[in-house]
């Protein structure tokens, strides 16, 4: 059997990808300290690729290096509201550019995603994954790589807080009702209605997260 050596660069990228995924999923909570040695043990690697991955994640705004510790970045209430305001601007622009490019196949794919999200037994993690898939699938129809990249980056910064939203609502009924309305507005080619609902949809989520942060005193 031919020996296949794993390049150091491959290990570094794998550690970075896995660690970033855990941060995005909220497995490391905002404000939580991160142990380089513990992560290295979990991934079965030396501390060097973990440290390098954390340096990149620091530049991306996921973690902060203090003198004696590494901490998952914790957004203030003001920062959360600012990020959602930025999302509103970016996502309404993406909506304007995406709607004219929609095909029947795209519409059916969006419907299928929402149908999966309607499952009353869906896990929180699966619902959030499909939620992102639904919105990004539509925004990618804008055919603007730079715009979609900006949206993804902004989403990355707020994704850990989406789990605050998920744990703060009794059900996804309202969010799902809005998703179905988005589908109908897309089908009707109703741009103005779609823009209004996009803003309201984001504001609703922002309000839930903000209320949870205020309740916990994270202002």
pLDDT digits (tens, 9 = 90+) for 157-202: 887 787 777 766 677 888 899 999 999 999 999 999 999 999 999 9
Domains of the chain by start residue, with CATH = 8-72 (1.10.10.10), 77-215 (1.20.120.530)
pLDDT above 70: residue 5: no
Contact 94, 148 (CB under 8 A): yes
pLDDT above 70: residue 2: no
pLDDT at 92: 97
Percent of the chain scoring above 90 in pLDDT:
48
pLDDT at 29: 79
pLDDT above 60: residue 7: no
Residue 16 backbone zone (phi > 0: left; psi -120 to 50: alpha; other: beta) = alpha
DSSP code of residue 35 = -
Residue the block writes with tokens 């973990």: 50
Give the pTM. Answer: 0.78
pLDDT above 90: residue 8: no
Of 31 and 46, which is predicted with more confidence?
46
């Amino acid at each position: 059997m031919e020996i296949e050596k794993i390049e150091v660069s491959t290990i570094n990228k794998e550690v970075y990808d896995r660690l970033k995924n855990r941060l995005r999923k909220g497995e490391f909570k905002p404000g939580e300290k991160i142990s380089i040695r513990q992560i290295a043990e979990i991934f079965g690697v030396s501390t060097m690729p973990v440290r390098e991955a954390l340096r990149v994640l620091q530049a991306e705004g996921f973690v902060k290096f203090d003198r004696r510790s590494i901490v998952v970045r914790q957004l203030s209430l003001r920062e959360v509201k600012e990020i959602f305001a930025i999302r509103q601007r970016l996502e309404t622009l993406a909506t304007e550019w995406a709607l004219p490019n929609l095909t029947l196949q795209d519409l059916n794919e969006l419907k299928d995603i929402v149908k999966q999200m309607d499952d009353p037994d869906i896990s929180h993690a699966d619902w959030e994954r499909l939620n992102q898939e639904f919105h990004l699938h539509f925004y990618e129809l804008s055919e603007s790589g730079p715009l979609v990249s900006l949206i993804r980056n902004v989403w990355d910064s707020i994704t850990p807080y989406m789990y605050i939203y998920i744990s703060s609502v009794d059900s996804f009924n309202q969010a799902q009702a809005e998703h179905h309305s988005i589908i109908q507005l897309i089908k009707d080619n109703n741009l103005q209605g779609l823009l209004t609902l996009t803003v309201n949809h984001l504001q609703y989520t922002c309000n839930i997260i903000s209320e949870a942060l205020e309740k916990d005193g994270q202002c």
